[in-house]
Amino acid sequence: MKESNIKTIEEHEKTRTLIETGVIDFKNRLTLVLEGLSGNAFAKKVGMSEAVIRDYLSGKTYPSLNRLAIIAQKCDIPIEWLATGKGECRLIPETERKGFIYIPFHLLNDNQTDTAFIDIESIPFDVTLIKHQQFNHDDLRVVCAKGDSMEPTISNHDILVINTAHIKPIDGYLYAVQYDDQISIKRIQNQGSNIALLCDNSKYPTIIVDKNQPQDFKIIGHVVYLLKNLY
């Protein structure tokens, strides 16, 4: 085997190990540890050079175990969390430490209640699912399905989590759309200058939207999770 091929395999193995252990995200955790300090000020705090800290923050290099221990001690944080992201740390929100975050409902306006529940503005959601899919939880919103136009896939009052960062229409995917002052869930199909909003329930007609004509229509987000009622 050629030396170049051996090096490539070794690099792939190294990257895989960094990802699986969580070490590759060290720079993100270190950014939290800075707590607003400049790189220079933080370097002085932990007794290291600014260049070293700058390389850590850029992901160019990773600290030795000795330096990890120093940073953890100086900043009063668990060394395991600093190295791998596992365990609890005072620097991350309490809800995330407990394994969930709250995702807010998407509302058309401040006065709208878009949920089948009373006095609920958000729902708890398993943070490991979000991390697994590499979603930014700030981009996630919840909508409540209404009616039976998407039966049998989606039923009335089912809860859907949408990713508002993904609004580019891809054929066959489910999206939350705002149309005629309502939020609906539809499959999208690109048809040249038009977008077809498809219903899974065959008794409902397809809605055709002209991409080039201004109107009260927009894609809110791609549906990424479906929470179904089982009654």
Residue-level pLDDT at 111: 42
Tell the burial category of 60 from Cβ atoms under 10 Å away from its Cβ (0-12, 13-18, 19+): exposed
Residue-level pLDDT at 129: 74
Closest Cα partner for 196 from 176, 169, 221?
169
Contact assessment for residue 29 and residue 85, using Cβ atoms and an 8 Å cutoff: yes
Question: Which mean pLDDT values do the consecutive 10-residue runs of the chain (231 residues) have?
Answer: 55 65 80 88 94 92 91 90 81 63 72 44 76 78 90 90 91 89 90 91 91 79 84 55
Residue with tokens 């136009």: 149
Closest Cα partner for 25 from 98, 97, 66, 85?
85
Q: What is the dihedral of CA 80, 86, 87, 88, to 10 degrees?
A: 100
Residue-level pLDDT at 119: 44
- Could you give the residue ranges of the DSSP H alpha helices within the chain? 3-21, 26-34, 39-46, 50-58, 65-75, 79-84, 94-97, 127-133
Tell the burial category of 89 from Cβ atoms under 10 Å away from its Cβ (0-12, 13-18, 19+): buried
